[in-house]
Amino acid sequence: MSNKTLILLRGLPGAGKTTFGLSIDAFTVSADDYFDIYHKGKFKPHKIGAAHGWCRDLVEARMQSGWTLITVANTFTQEWEMKPYIDMAEGYGYNVHSLIVENRHGSSSVHDVPEETIERMRHRFEVEL
């Protein structure tokens, strides 16, 4: 069994995915980081594809360098959204875990995601048991 691990942190905006990833001393990245770095934190819907591509590229670069613990903190509301990461992890010999992070602390999204958007995400959230 490999000592390299990829953890996919799933959850609605404001759940604390990134905070959790950073608390376990892992390399942690999210598509939201793209907007923080390149657009001063302002979400631009037409750039969402670029943000997710950037996130995947960064994870692959860390895998190529052999990082032992990587977390990706995206909403991953649907199973297919995790597949590129799972495939990548398989190719680089990483064990994969997905964790659902729930907002039990009453926090709101630091990215100002509107409540109606969060509600739509809640309704499409898939859990494979």
Query: How confident is the model over 17-59, as pLDDT tens digits?
Result: 999 999 998 999 999 999 999 999 888 889 999 999 999 999 9
- Total tally of structural domains belonging to the chain: 1
> pLDDT at position 56, please?
98
Mean pLDDT score of the chain: 90
Q: Is residue 69 part of a domain?
A: yes
pLDDT band at 66 (very low <50, low <70, confident <90, very high): very high
Query: How high is the pLDDT of residue 62?
Result: 98
State in Å, rounded, how far the first CA of the chain is from the last one: 23
Q: Is residue 95 part of a domain?
A: yes
Dist CA 71 CA 21 (whole Å): 6
pTM beyond 0.85: the answer is yes
The CATH code of the domain that includes 89 is: 3.40.50.300
In-domain check, residue 55: yes
Whether 100 maps to a domain, the answer reads yes
> In this structure, is residue 129 part of a structural domain?
no
Question: For residue 110, is pLDDT > 90?
Answer: no
Domain that holds residue 113: 5-124
pLDDT at 103: 77
Instruction: Please report the pLDDT score of residue 108 as a whole number.
Output: 61
Domain membership flag for residue 119: yes
Q: Where are the alpha helices (DSSP H) in the chain?
A: 17-23, 31-38, 48-64, 83-92, 115-124
Band (90; pLDDT cuts 50, 70, 90): very high
Give the chain's radius of gyration (CA, Å): 14
The per-residue pLDDT for 92 is 98
